[in-house]
Structure 1
Amino acid sequence: MKKWLPLIIIAIIAIGLYMKGSGFYNSVIEEEENISEQWSKVESAYQLRSDLIPNLMKIAERYAEYEQETFKSVIEARSKATSIQIDPSNITPEKLEQFKQAQGSMTSALSRLLAVFERYPDLKANENYKEVMNSYDRVEKRIKVERDRFNESITPYNNLVRKFPNNLYASIFGFEKKSRFDGDEGIENAPDINDSIRKN
């Protein structure tokens, strides 16, 4: 019996490590699914913003036909922003940075467009314009909420893979710390869409 005791102890330790490792793995997969789901909501919110731009441009062009350069910059920024898609299962810091920069350019172009609108009182008085702007304001608020929720979903995952002894299993399974969506200058200060309406 004594000669089998070390083998039995090793077997018990191995089973314990296996159970701990499999439990850890399943927990990380669950957290990754939460992150993926929340990221899809972030992208959906930005897509809603992008979808409103053609309506806004259509209304604006009737009143501000001489602002073609500004319109062109908005169209180009929208095209670039919608071309960058991120696989939620592989949100790398580099890809997240590309997405943030593209959306920041979109925000910057829209800020310039809103500044143009200030020169056209008739445009600001248009009911269709007001309706689109109100929708836009709601979308900007939703973007902020979904970004915050995405960042919140990152915390339990990062805690799980970085704490000892889980970090040992994380290195074995290839799980790494994930990046948050930190706002850039152009993103964190989203344009106050309704400001032009309130001034009217």
Structure 2
Amino acid sequence: MRKFLPWIIIGAIVVIVIFWAMGIQNKALGFSQAVGKEWGNVDASYQRRNDLIGNLVNTVKGAADFEKSTLTAVIEARAKATSVTVDPSNITPEQLAQFQQAQSGVSSSLSRLLVSVERYPELKANQNFLKLQDELASTENQILTARTRFNESVQAYNGYVLAVPQKWFLGSYPEKPFFKSVEGADKPVEVKF
């Protein structure tokens, strides 16, 4: 029995190390899944905004005959934003920047549309328009919340995957990029009537 004791101890240590490594992999997988889920929430929030924009444009178009270029810009920005997709499991900083740039175009053209609407008092009083405007404000808040939660899940994921000793076992789990504000977001928005 004493002759096999060192082999038994070595075998037990190997089994413990294997289960420990599996635990590291499983925890990293859980963090990765959380990032994917939160990205799905970000995507759903943007999709809700894109769906609302169509209704808003139709309401504005029906109630006011004004600058076609503004409506066209909103419609084109919306189409461009919906064409950019990101795979949360293989997200890269470049993909995220492209997605943010497309969404920034929607925000910018939507702001111009809402400023243009200020010239039409009958539209501003329209209940459908007011309700859509409230829905858009609510959706923008949902987008902010979803982006914040996405960044929190990326922080937890990156913190786990990049820490030692996990880093040694998790070569197939690359660092994920954070959602950053678009360039110029630190400056106040100038609204002109």
Kept in 2: contact 1:105–1:186 (CA 8 A) = no
Higher helix share: 1
How many pairs does the alignment contain? 193
Q: Distance in 1 between matches of 2:5 and 2:188?
A: 67
Aligned to 1:46: 46
Q: What does residue range 95-174 of structure 1 map to in structure 2 within 5 Å?
A: 95-171=95-171, 174=172
Please list the CA deviations of residues 148-195 of structure 1 after superposition, one character each: whole Å capped at 9, or x if unmatched.
111111122111111111111112xx111111111214778898xxx9
Letter in 1 for 2:175: K
Structure 1 runs not aligned, ≥5 long:
196-200
Please list the CA deviations of residues 46-99 of structure 1 after superposition, one character each: whole Å capped at 9, or x if unmatched.
000000111111121134323101111111100010111222222222211111
Q: Give the % identical residues.
A: 41
Please list the CA deviations of residues 29-56 of structure 1 after superposition, one character each: whole Å capped at 9, or x if unmatched.
1111111111111110100000011111
Q: Distance in 1 between matches of 2:134 and 2:121?
A: 17
Kept in 2: contact 1:39–1:88 (CA 8 A) = yes
For 1:183, which of 181, 184, 190 is the aligned residue? 181
How large is the Cα RMSD of the aligned pairs? 2.7
Taking a change above 3 Å as real, the CA distance of residues 189 and 39 of structure 1, as seen in their structure-2 partners, is farther
Aligned to 1:24: 24
**Secondary structure of the structure 2 residue equivalent to 1:70:** helix
Aligned to 1:198: none
Letter in 1 for 2:150: F
**Secondary structure of the structure 1 residue equivalent to 2:176:** coil
How does the TM-score come out when normalised to structure 2? 0.88
- Flag as ranges the 4+ runs of structure 1 deviating above 6 A: 1-6, 186-191
Letter in 2 for 1:86: V
Structure 2 runs not aligned, ≥5 long:
none
How does the TM-score come out when normalised to structure 1? 0.85
User: Which deviates more, 119-128 or 22-31?
Assistant: 119-128
